[in-house]
């Protein structure tokens, strides 16, 4: 099933922070003697940057504030851990046929909605039907994907998914938030979008709506309480309160004023200030995004880009660490490849390509490109100059990154012209028609935990798919094509290791860095942990383990914990 699971997004990185190394957890002292012990009770209050629009997992893709709350209210068939391994949520078990075409899902016993009604496979089928008819709300690729899947309800606990062909990443698609048929069953997704259900949601997750705070006709907060019939481990916290703020600075001020205990995002500009707070712990997680320089390997105007040694020299010629230090204040992780380092499929033996001007110059000279000219030196091979255009999304951040790369390559006497392109047409005007020579992009792999690199790098996607570099490597393509049709994770691991080794040798495009998300929680809140993320709402993956510190001199807790 050759689906384009990944969407390419030109990122606005200003709302997120990137990091070289994940910032180690910084905890303030507990202020009392004794070891904190988990206790049931207490209130956690978080400053959530953004606004409430619709608390509905089918409608929250463009609103991170909604997605954060939905993560606590709704359940999915499966969730994924930080390594990309599927774990049961509503499912008790998932069986896969030997040919990889049939997935049999058995739900847990006695599943309940927040209103006490039973949750069954009818709700699963209903939710999928909503997606199939979700034009205007659901991506076209996702709609077509589900239309190709046969959903067979066997009984109230058993449902079968029949695929048209084997597709190993299928469980990625089972992470959708399940909606209640008994409430919404007569509505289309368009009608659901206009329903007051979105402000009074009924889910099956660990928390449910308790109260909504409205001030001057505007929603300023929302309160959640534990769901007593939750199918998973019950939470310690007795209440979670979200207060909405327009930006991270005002959210931080709310913490300073004692109104909240957590801040939903810490931008790079605010990080040094937050780090100075002795009682505020910082949790960091690698986001599912890769910043790269894509290279057009099929443009006759830049034939030198087809030479792997020149591509390696280009990567060695970028001082990525300086770029990270100066533009992101050290907050980014240098990338070695296109499979995330914490993934089960990652090849641990990948070598880092270090910044090395002398070796880069040597490789270029060995390829026949020597420096000519005095005032404006440029490398030439016979009558062909090492000259090309680097296109980038026209915003301040990407401009600064592009200028840094341009300056590094000019040091090697490579003539690079920068071309700013409006963000909203970057993909349609440059990448889709392959009308670029080199392009600074950010690949966003959100909500696709499976490491399948097929869409961007398989030669079958070179002409009309998302293989924008038009990389044509039969061995690499064979590996990723075989890996996506076998359900044996060990065989898939071997095949993905093969792919990564070939990619590292060939460097069809130049990996730069992975962005990092930073989150702050008062040290009074214990049990918090955060690994690599598939979405920033995954910071709540361990929410049932969070608890308020029990102190010997403390008998009650306040929402602010201050």
Give first-to-last CA distance, the chain, whole Å. Answer: 53
Structure tokens at 256: 């300073």
**Residue numbers in the chain where pLDDT is lower than 50:** 1-33, 551-559, 561-562
DSSP 233: P
- Dmax (CA) for the chain in angstroms is 81
Kindly list the distances between the CA atom of residue 164 and the CA atoms of 2, 220, 355, 360, 451, in Å, as whole numbers in the listed order.
11, 47, 47, 48, 21
Residue 21 zone, left/alpha/beta (φ > 0; ψ -120 to 50; rest): beta
pTM: 0.88
Nearest Cα to Cα of residue 547 among 62, 210, 42: 42
In the chain the domains, ranked by start, together with CATH numbers, are 54-201 (3.90.76.10)
Helix or strand or coil: residue 416? strand
Torsion sign across C-alpha atoms 64, 65, 68, 71: negative
For the chain, what is the total number of helices (H) and then of strands (E)?
Answer: 15, 25
DSSP 21: S
C-alpha–C-alpha distance, residues 230 and 205, integer Å: 6
Unique residue bearing structure tokens 């087809």: 306
Buried b (16+ CB within 10 A) or exposed e, 98-128: eebbbbbbbbbeebebbeebebbbbbbebbb
What's the pLDDT at 172? 94
Nearest Cα to Cα of residue 413 among 376, 452, 458, 464: 376
C-alpha–C-alpha distance, residues 206 and 221, integer Å: 19
Structure tokens at 68: 């954060």
C-alpha–C-alpha distance, residues 496 and 502, integer Å: 10
C-alpha–C-alpha distance, residues 135 and 359, integer Å: 52
For helices 308-316 and 357-366, give the axis angle rounded to 10 degrees.
160
C-alpha–C-alpha distance, residues 359 and 176, integer Å: 48
C-alpha–C-alpha distance, residues 444 and 447, integer Å: 9
C-alpha–C-alpha distance, residues 148 and 483, integer Å: 21
DSSP 181-214: HHHHTT--HHHHHTSGGGTS----SSEEEEEEEE
- What is the pairing mode between strands 158-162 and 289-295? unpaired
What's the pLDDT at 34? 53
Taking only the tens place, the pLDDT of each residue in 16-40 is 333 433 444 443 333 334 556 788 9
Taking only the tens place, the pLDDT of each residue in 327-380 is 988 788 999 999 999 999 999 999 999 999 999 999 999 999 999 987 889 999
């Amino acid at each position: 099933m050759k689906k384009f699971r990944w969407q390419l997004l030109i990122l606005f990185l200003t709302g997120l922070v990137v990091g070289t190394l994940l910032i180690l957890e910084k905890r303030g002292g507990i202020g009392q003697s004794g070891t904190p012990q988990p206790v049931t009770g207490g209130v956690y209050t978080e400053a959530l940057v953004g606004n409430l629009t619709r608390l509905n997992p089918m409608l929250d893709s463009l609103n991170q504030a909604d997605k954060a709350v939905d993560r606590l209210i709704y359940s999915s068939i499966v969730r994924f851990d930080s390594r990309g391994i599927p774990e049961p949520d509503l499912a008790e078990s998932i069986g896969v046929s030997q040919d990889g075409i049939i997935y049999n899902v058995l739900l847990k016993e006695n599943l309940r909605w927040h209103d006490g009604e039973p949750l069954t496979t009818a709700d699963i089928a209903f939710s999928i039907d909503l997606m199939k008819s979700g034009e205007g709300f659901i991506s076209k690729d996702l709609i077509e994907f589900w239309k190709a899947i046969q959903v067979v309800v066997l009984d109230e606990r058993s449902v079968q998914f029949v695929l048209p062909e084997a597709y190993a990443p299928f469980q990625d698609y089972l992470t959708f938030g399940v909606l209640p048929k008994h409430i919404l069953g007569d509505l289309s997704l368009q009608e659901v979008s206009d329903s007051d259900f979105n402000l009074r949601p009924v889910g099956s997750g660990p928390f449910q709506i308790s109260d909504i705070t409205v001030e001057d006709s505007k929603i300023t907060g929302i309160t959640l309480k534990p769901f007593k019939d939750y199918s998973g481990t019950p939470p310690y916290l007795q209440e979670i309160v979200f207060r909405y703020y327009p930006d991270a600075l005002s959210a931080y001020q709310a913490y300073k004023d004692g109104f909240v205990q957590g801040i939903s995002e810490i931008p790079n500009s605010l990080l040094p200030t937050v780090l100075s707070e002795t009682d505020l712990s910082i949790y960091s997680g690698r986001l599912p995004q890769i910043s790269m320089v894509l290279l057009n390997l099929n443009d006759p105007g830049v034939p030198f880009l087809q030479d792997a040694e020149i591509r390696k020299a280009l990567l060695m010629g970028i001082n990525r660490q300086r770029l990270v230090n100066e533009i992101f204040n050290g907050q980014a992780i240098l990338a070695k490849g296109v499979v995330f380092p914490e993934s089960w499929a990652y090849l641990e033996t990948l070598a880092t390509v270090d910044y090395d001007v002398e070796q880069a110059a040597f490789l270029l000279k060995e390829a026949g490109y020597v420096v000519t000219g005095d005032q404006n030196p440029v490398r030439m091979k016979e009558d062909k100059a090492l000259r090309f255009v680097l296109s980038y999304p026209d915003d301040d951040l990407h401009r600064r990154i592009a200028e840094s790369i341009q300056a590094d390559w000019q040091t090697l006497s490579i003539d690079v012209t920068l071309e700013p392109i409006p963000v909203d047409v970057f993909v349609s005007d440059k990448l889709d028609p392959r009308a670029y020579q080199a392009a600074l992009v950010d690949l966003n792999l959100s909500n696709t935990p499976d490491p399948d690199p097929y869409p961007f790098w398989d030669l079958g996607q070179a002409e009309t798919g998302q293989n924008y570099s038009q990389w044509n490597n039969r061995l690499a393509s064979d590996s990723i094509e075989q890996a996506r049709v076998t359900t044996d994770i060990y065989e898939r691991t071997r095949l993905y290791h093969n792919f990564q080794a070939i990619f590292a040798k060939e460097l069809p495009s130049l990996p730069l860095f992975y962005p990092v998300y930073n989150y702050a929680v008062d040290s009074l809140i214990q049990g918090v942990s955060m690994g690599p993320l598939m979405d920033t709402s995954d910071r709540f993956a361990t929410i049932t383990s969070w608890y308020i510190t029990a102190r010997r001199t403390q008998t009650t807790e306040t929402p602010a914990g201050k």
